[in-house]
């Protein structure tokens, strides 16, 4: 069953049509690679799912129920987690503090509740262990490698029972070894039954980790097929427009 369904979604900003008539569905435990050139509408589409924009037309359904989001913070409530391109981490805080930022664990009563550092370190450690990432909860993020930083950003999505994780260019600007780490993290998410939408410009990453590929061009969906029945050449053709539609 599809966890997320988009039906005839369009978005225009004034006279500019950013996304037109896109329908897609995402299954639980599936990784979908969302590809397209700059300005193809990928980010706009994802931002609608994340609650940054509201669609001009069309409906979104989460587990069959209609989904209307007014603010990004609401998306989290519904189990939609976002890993931002620049990772949105605070360098001066520890890994655990970053994981729990905005939803700190506290103990005590009423107005006297204080941060429960111990429990946050412990839980963050458990998540890193599940992700099989060598990341220490007490380390400051500024001392971390790109792969560890990704692990912190992804660990955030595992605090609550996320249904969908949206990732915007998670493998841009990191080293080859770290890319492999991040792809492993994505597989961990998939194995936990989470649906992942992966925006990426990097063809090898998408073909390595995704189950399906969706290609957008000029706001339209021009392809949506299993990765096994596609090829990098075909996707390149679709992105540039050499191949009209499949």
Partner 1 sequence: MATTLERTIEHRQQTWPAALLASQTFWVLIAVIFACIFLSFATDSFATAKNLYNITRNVTFVAIIALGMTLVIITGGIDLSVGSVLCLCSMVLAVVMHAGYSIEVGIAASIGTALLIGAFNGVMIAYLGFPPFVITLGMLSIARSLAMVASNNTVVFQFGPDHDKLLALGGGAWFFGIANPVLYMIALALLTGFVLRWTKFGRYVFAIGGNEQAATLTGVPVRRIKVAVYMISALAAGIAGIIQTGWLGAVTTNIGAGMELQVIAAAVIGGANLAGGVGTASGALIGAALIEVIRNSLGLLGINAFWQGTFIGGATVLAVLFDRVRNFRQSE
| Residue from 8, 23, 118, 138 binding partner 1 (CB under 8 A) | 138
Binding of residue 146 to partner 1 (CB under 8 A): no
| Residue from 2, 61, 84, 180 binding partner 1 (CB under 8 A) | 84
Binding of residue 90 to partner 1 (CB under 8 A): yes
Q: What token pair was written down for 115?
A: 């941060």
Stretch that binds partner 1, among 23-31, 126-134, 186-194, 228-236 (CB under 8 A): 126-134
Binding of residue 156 to partner 1 (CB under 8 A): yes
Nearest to 148, CA basis, from 121, 182, 123 = 182
Nearer to partner 1, 99 or 209 (CB): 99
Other C-beta atoms lying within 10 Å of the C-beta of residue 38: 7
Number of residues engaging partner 1 in binding (CB under 8 A)? 33
Binding of residue 123 to partner 1 (CB under 8 A): no
Task: Report strand pairing: 164-168 vs 80-83.
Answer: parallel
Nearer to partner 1, 2 or 87 (CB): 87
Q: What token pair was written down for 210?
A: 């995704």
Radius of gyration of the chain (CA): 19
Binding of residue 134 to partner 1 (CB under 8 A): yes
Q: SS3 sequence, 11-66?
A: EEECCEEEEEEEEEEEECCCEEEEEECCCCCHHHHHHHHHCCCCCCEEEEEECCEE
Nearer to partner 1, 22 or 97 (CB): 97
Shortest Å, Cβ 114 to partner 1: 4
Are the CB atoms for 174 and 187 separated by under 8 Å? no
DSSP character at residue 201: S
Binding of residue 102 to partner 1 (CB under 8 A): yes
Binding of residue 114 to partner 1 (CB under 8 A): yes
Binding of residue 237 to partner 1 (CB under 8 A): no
Are the CB atoms for 121 and 96 separated by under 8 Å? yes
Site string for partner 1, 27-66 (x = CB under 8 A): ----------------------------------------
Task: Report strand pairing: 57-62 vs 65-66.
Answer: antiparallel
Are the CB atoms for 81 and 4 separated by under 8 Å? no
Nearest to 105, CA basis, from 50, 160, 185 = 160
| Residue from 27, 37, 139, 208 binding partner 1 (CB under 8 A) | 139
Binding of residue 73 to partner 1 (CB under 8 A): yes
Distance separating alpha carbons of residues 209 and 11, to the nearest angstrom: 29
Stretch that binds partner 1, among 19-27, 99-107, 184-192, 220-228 (CB under 8 A): 99-107
Which residues form the interface with partner 1 (CB under 8 A)?
Answer: 72-73, 76, 82, 84, 86-93, 97, 101-104, 106, 114-115, 125, 128-129, 132, 134-139, 143, 156
């Amino acid at each position: 069953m599809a966890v997320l369904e988009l039906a005839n979604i369009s978005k225009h900003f004034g006279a500019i049509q950013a996304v037109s008539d896109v329908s897609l569905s995402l299954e639980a435990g599936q990784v979908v690679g969302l590809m397209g050139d700059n300005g193809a509408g990928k980010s706009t589409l994802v931002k609608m799912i994340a609650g940054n924009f509201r669609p001009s037309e069309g409906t979104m359904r989460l587990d069959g129920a209609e989904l209307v989001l007014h603010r990004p913070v609401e998306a989290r409530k519904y189990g939609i987690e976002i890993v931002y391109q620049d990772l949105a981490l605070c360098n001066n805080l520890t890994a655990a503090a970053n994981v729990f930022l905005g939803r700190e664990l506290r103990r005590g009563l009423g107005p006297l509740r204080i941060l429960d550092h111990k429990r946050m370190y412990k839980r963050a450690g458990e998540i890193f262990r599940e992700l099989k990432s060598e990341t220490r909860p007490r380390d400051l993020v500024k001392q971390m490698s790109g792969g560890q930083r990704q692990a912190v950003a992804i660990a955030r999505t595992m605090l609550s029972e996320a249904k969908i994780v949206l990732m915007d260019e998670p493998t841009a600007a990191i080293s080859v070894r770290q890319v492999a780490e991040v792809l492993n993290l994505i597989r961990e998410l998939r194995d936990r039954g989470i649906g992942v939408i992966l925006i990426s410009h990097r063809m090898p990453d998408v073909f390595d980790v995704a189950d399906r590929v969706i290609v957008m061009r000029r706001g339209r969906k021009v392809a949506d097929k299993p990765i096994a029945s596609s090829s990098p050449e075909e996707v390149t053709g679709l992105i540039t427009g050499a191949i009209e539609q499949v």
